Amino acid sequence: MKLEGTYTALVTPFDETGALDLDAMTALVEWQIQSGVDGLVPCGSTGEAATLTHEEHTQVVRHVVEVAAGRVPVIAGTGSNSTAEALSLTAAAREAGADAALLISPYYNKPTQDGIYQHYRSIAEETGLPLIIYNIPGRTGSRIAPETSARLSRVPGLIGLKEAGGDLGATSQTLAASDEDFAVLSGDDSLTLPMLAIGARGVISTTSNVAPVEMAALVRAGLEGDATRARSQHFALLGLMDALFIETNPIPVKTALQITGRIPCAHLRLPLTEMAKANRDALEKALARRTGA
């Protein structure tokens, strides 16, 4: 599987009772594909995987696979701080038809670098599904070091890294030391452009939930070496990117999708809560500026 382009980290729509809204998910997936994204990532952080049951998790992955119907790859979020649980979720995603899996680095446990390596290696060996490792120390409490990413890049089945560490220097070290077939994708929307400049091959994006055409255009321009066009797209999206992270993800992006009519309900499961009014007002202004309203 070739990793390149814009992959949307999908929200998981719920109805007003908090149950899965698969009709809303169907509409969102169809719109994303028609808008030109290169792949879909259900059940990640943006998809509120932490509050989905295992049954719901598999149901969402299977539904997205069925709706996508092979038109774009589906990369299922299957990470856990328990290696056994991550193995189970990854095996279920494989059975549901996912093309690959994205696994957050084990959180809370704060494993050593060798523990991180052994975690990913064992899942790759036991499941046979292409895997993407995910470095996001702001959520996990530990960081995947560049030398660990490089070591993992040589494990069969580990095809890439979603990098959300916010450190371009460390990302440069990772790119320099990793196998050349190992794809690094941005996990920070606002850092996508500079990451493309140093060799990243795309983004797993929250912003593309709301602006798939524009985010795909930014990445395409960057990959084609059109710095002027990529920079223009980056600055056009910057205000929206900032607004979508004014509170904890996915609170703003879900709210934005409801405001724009893409999902009927912005219900969030506790401990996530409705946006504060001042922040919602700022989000509405950013959305209005984007549409020229």
- Scan for tokens 């959305």, then name that residue: 287
- The answer to whether the beta carbons of residues 38 and 202 sit under 8 Å apart is yes
Would you call 6 helix, strand, or coil by DSSP?
strand
Q: Which helix (H) or strand (E) holds 185?
A: strand 183-186
First to last CA, the chain: 41
The DSSP letter of residue 272 is: -
Which of 249, 248, 229, 252 is CA-nearest to residue 240? 252
Provide the strand spans (E) within 66-153.
75-77, 100-104, 131-135
Sign of the dihedral through C-alpha 234, 237, 243, 248: negative
| Enzyme catalytic residues | 134, 162
Token readout for 63 is 């539904």
The DSSP letter of residue 20 is: B
